[in-house]
Amino acid sequence: MPRVSTDQLAARRQQILDGARACFARYGYEGATVRRLEQVTGLSRGAIFHHYRDKDALFLALAEQDARRMADVVADQGLVQVMRELLADPGSADERSWLGTRLEVSRRLRTDPEFRARWSSHSAALTRATRERLERQRRAGTLRDDVPVPVLAQYLELVLEGLVSHLAMGLPADDLDGVLDLVEGAVRRRTG
């Protein structure tokens, strides 16, 4: 039997995650049946579940990957940039869109205590990345200094959750760039 390289394994795992992202975004966690996962990924259930123990493990791996990507964007460009990326293509269910996964994470946090317990470390990583970026901005003198960093971080996280809810309800996203400009301005140091 030919050996499969680590690059090939990683590519297959990513193919599964990309397909699963589209499937979960379109049908939700409950509606993402094994048959649908097979259709969207183009792989058999054996191929899918060779890499991921079950649907729950697959969803968690996907959510973890998105959380890492979001934390990377936050560290480099800030939480408002994550929101801007959600706005760039809110209806997209492709591998770049976090909205579908984020909606399912929010739903499962509300309804699944086991998931909530497992997810807490990922949530903490995003909060940590947000706070660290805000601290760097404060040291650089670009962040307002009259509000504690934890309060600013929580404000940004609440705006993110509100944006996700807004998009989930299918409400218009036309003027939200201006809203995000306002949010960004609210945390910056006022000059002049």
Domain 6-187 has CATH 1.10.357.10: yes
Listed by start position, the domains of the chain span: 6-187
Q: Report the candidate in 164, 105, 85, 156 with the shortest Cα–Cα distance to residue 127.
A: 156
Residue 95's pLDDT is what?
A: 43
Structure confidence by residue, pLDDT tens digits, 52-111: 999 989 999 999 898 888 889 999 999 999 999 888 765 554 444 678 888 888 888 888
pLDDT above 50 (res 35): yes
State how far the Cα of 188 lies from the Cα of 122, in Å rounded to an integer.
26
CA distances, 64 to each of 3, 24, 81, 118, 154 (Å):
28, 14, 19, 10, 21
pTM of the model: 0.81
